[in-house]
Amino acid sequence: MKKISVIIPMYYEELVAEECHKRMTTVLKSIDNYEYEIIYVNDGSKDKTLEILEKIAKNDENSKIVSFSRNFGHQAAVTAGLKEVTGDVAVIIDADLQDPPELIPEMLKLWEEGNEVVYGKRKTRDGESIFKLMTAKMFYNTLNALSDVDIPKDTGDFRLVDRKVVDKMNSLPEHNKFLRGLWSWLGYKQYAFEYERKERFAGKTKYPLKKMLKLASDGIIGFSSKPIKFIGILGCISIIISFLILIYSLISFIGNFGNITAGWTSIMFAITFFAGVQLLSLWMISEYIGRIYDETKGRPQYVIDKKINIEEKEETKK
């Protein structure tokens, strides 16, 4: 029998925890020929969330709990959940039922047909403020313009992932994982599963502006080195301006117009020229730091799905 693992992060979700468990269990029980486990990750909630989860786990051996010592954030919670997966396929889903659990059987079918990552793509988003929709749109556009891998728009963490891809994700050593980007980075056979995102079942969003900005910066800094190049461009512009000042002064001196005050040219040239030189040096240093950053992330250079007619090499003994 195959097994499906569901990861549900929870932060101050006492209003939805029970309903979430009920609906999720109903769906998972209805799927034939699959065992299941639900991994709840309590991300340091100080309300009754953990209490409710403990009660649930007491009466249900399929429910497991990982509880953080404090709030470490949504991405950390999902990362912790992924480490506990024992199934053949994993589903990541929010606790607030915005992503309907009833879609899981359909997604599972797509997985059985050979798709390795089935990610939820939001066709519509009910009950979210214009501010949230606009900032989300801005974020995805900026991220895509800057980043080196294609990160699909309107996609959150709701997805179904093959165990082998989960294992690859778990093997990446980097901190501050921006999961949505990394799933794309890992590759494999991906399928965009369109769905309608519902309103929150109860409670308020746990993503205030501050957390959204942290997520955005993890995404952009983690997936792009283009901001560094910007320093270099600025440096070049500054140097070009310095020479334009020089040329302008020379022409106005020869043509006898403009009445440039004595000393203006040398000061303006020196300021813009050396500002440019400094920016260019900064850019060079940043390029090196960028390389160091890249190495410390420890992402492998490539990910191999399978090898054919190549034996796995045995560790050579000394």
The nearest distance, CB 285 to ligand UDP, in angstroms, is: 35
193 vs 223, which CB is nearer to Mg ion? 193
- With contacts defined by CB under 6 A, name the span among 67-75, 104-112, 137-145, 232-240 that binds ligand UDP: 67-75
Stretch in the footprint of ligand UDP (CB under 6 A) among 168-176, 205-213, 230-238, 275-283 = 205-213
User: Does residue 82 contact residue 90 with C-beta atoms inside 8 Å?
Assistant: yes
**Least CB distance to Mg ion at residue 197 (A):** 8
Q: Chain centroid to CA 28: how far? A: 27
13 near ligand UDP, judged by CB under 6 A: yes
78 vs 279, which CB is nearer to Mg ion? 78
Under rule CB under 6 A, residue 80 binds ligand UDP: no
CB proximity list for 77: less than 8 A, separation 6 or greater: 9, 10, 11, 41, 43, 68
Tell me the window of 10-18, 22-30, 32-40, 258-266 that interacts with ligand UDP (CB under 6 A): 10-18
Which member of 25, 63, 98, 147 binds ligand UDP (CB under 6 A)? Answer: 98
- The answer to whether the CB of 58 falls within 8 A of the CB of 40 is no
Which does residue 5 bind out of Mg ion, ligand UDP, none, counting CB within 5 to 8 angstroms by kind?
A: none
Instruction: Rule CB under 6 A: choose which of 4, 6, 9, 190 binds ligand UDP.
Output: 9
Could you tell me the smallest distance in angstroms from the CB atom of residue 179 to ligand UDP?
12
Binding partner of 206, given ligand UDP, Mg ion, none, CB within 5-8 angstroms per partner class: ligand UDP
Cβ count within 10 A of residue 7: 27
Burial 9-44 (b: 16+ CB within 10 A, else e): bbbbbbbbbeebbebbbebbeeeeebebbbbbbbbb
Nearer to Mg ion, 96 or 116 (CB): 96
The order of strands in the sheet holding 117-125 is 63-67, 34-42, 2-10, 89-92, 155-162, 117-125, 190-197
Angle between helices 49-59 and 17-30 (to 10 degrees): 30
Give CA angle at 59 (58, 63), nearest 5°: 75
**x/- contact string, 111-150, with ligand UDP (CB under 6 A)?**
----------------------------------------
**Min dist. Cβ of residue 55 to ligand UDP (A):** 18
For residue 95, state whether it binds ligand UDP (rule: CB under 6 A): yes
Phi-psi region of 195 (alpha: psi -120 to 50; beta: other; left: phi over 0): beta
43, 116, 162, 218: residue in contact with ligand UDP (rule CB under 6 A): 43
Which among 83-91, 108-116, 200-208, 260-268 is the span making contact with ligand UDP, rule CB under 6 A? Answer: 200-208
Which is closer to ligand UDP, CB of 42 or CB of 224?
Answer: 42
Q: Distance (Å, rounded) from C-alpha 171 to C-alpha 6?
A: 19
Residue closer to Mg ion (CB basis): 37 or 96: 96
Binding site for ligand UDP (CB under 6 A): 9-11, 13, 43, 71, 73-74, 77, 94-96, 98, 205-207
